[in-house]
Amino acid sequence: MPTRTDVRAARVALLPTDSRPGGGARLELRGGLVSPRVVRQGAASAEVALIATTATLLGGDELRLAVEVGPGLRLDLRDVAGTVAYHGRGQRCLVAVSLTVHPGAVLVWAGEPLVVCDGAEVVRTMDVDVAETGRLLLRDRVALGRSGQVGGDLTCRTTMAYAARPALVEELTLGGTSTVGGVGVLGGARVVDSVTALGWRPDTVVTPPADPAPRHTEDAPGPRATVFRLHEPGALARRLVTDAHDSDLPGTWARWAAELPSL
């Protein structure tokens, strides 16, 4: 049972005011454990920030978020800060995200890390539906533990569809306190950093970091992201790192974001 009585799903929806081209757009916002705040809004686009309304995530919490972008519109979504799952005292918490992108629409979400502290048990689901001619650019980061911690248990289930066809189906189980998802999955890393593009074939060349970590030298450069081409139009770039700031994915993000229409 959740520890909070309020388990409403937060909602961010940018929808056309009518069916005529250029007819304008309206925002529909509803808060839950996160509260959406308008940063800017134009005739066919908007930028919205997600702000935690209270300390999250605690054992038993359910953080639910639904995002929808109407035909021909663009929504830029960003997190003000990362989400931290604290010791659950034996109770699991849930993060459930649903993303819907209509034809000709663009959704860009620069997500901040989900950090799973010692003693936390988190299940995160992400269901994505991108219509034909729609585009999604998503940055997703999960980390086992804060500095000096091993981290709790995390299960991530991701399902992405493009034009009603499966594009990415993945279940990732990581455990700092269990034997599941240990060295065989992450090796010595504790952060999984991913950038996903869906709806077009982006340039898959990864831009190296402008300021590599000190331990990387010209003779022994650090590893770079692995880029997977999806069966449907799209790509997934991923890096496993010990510290989030060591990832070179900001370069990939900037390159792929530059390929999106500004609307």
Residue 53 pLDDT greater than 90, yes or no: no
Q: Is the pLDDT of residue 177 over 70?
A: no
Tell me the C-alpha distance between 59 and 232, whole Å: 37
> What pLDDT band is residue 218 in, cutting at 50, 70 and 90?
very low
Closest CA to 66 of 16, 135, 10, 140: 10
- The 10s digit of each residue's pLDDT in 16-44 is 997 666 668 999 999 999 999 999 999 99
| Long-range pairs for 241-244: beta carbons < 8 A, 24 or more residues apart | 241/189, 241/191, 241/193, 242/188, 242/189, 242/190, 242/191, 243/191, 244/113, 244/141, 244/143, 244/191, 244/193
Full residue range of the structural domain in which residue 226 is found: 10-257
Mean residue pLDDT of the chain comes to 85
Q: Which residues contact 155 (CB under 8 A, 6 or more apart)?
A: 122, 123, 124, 171, 172, 173, 174
Calculate mean pLDDT across residues 237-249.
84
pLDDT band at 206 (very low <50, low <70, confident <90, very high): very low
- Is pLDDT of 184 > 60? no
Q: Give domain status of residue 40, yes or no.
A: yes
Residue 5 lies in a domain: no
pLDDT band for position 114 (50/70/90)? very high
Query: Tell me, what's the pLDDT at 56?
Result: 79
62-74, pLDDT tens digit by residue?
A: 999 999 999 999 9
Cis peptide before 75 (omega within 30 of 0): no
Is the model's pLDDT at 145 over the cut of 80? yes
Domain count across the chain: 1
Stretch 194-223: mean pLDDT, rounded?
61
- 96 found inside a domain: yes
Q: Higher-confidence residue: 22 or 148?
A: 148
Position 262 in a domain: no
The answer to whether residue 69 sits within a structural domain is yes
Kindly report the backbone phi and psi dihedral angles of residue 258, in degrees, each rounded to the nearest multiple of 5, phi listed first: -65, -20
| Helix locations, the chain, DSSP H | 183-186, 249-257
Beta bridge partners of 198: 136, 234
DSSP letter assigned to residue 245: G
Residue 3, domain member (yes or no)? no
Note the pTM of the prediction, 2 decimals. 0.86
**Exposed/middle/buried for residue 116 (C-beta within 10 Å: 0-12, 13-18, 19+):** buried
Q: What is the mean pLDDT of residues 202-215?
A: 52
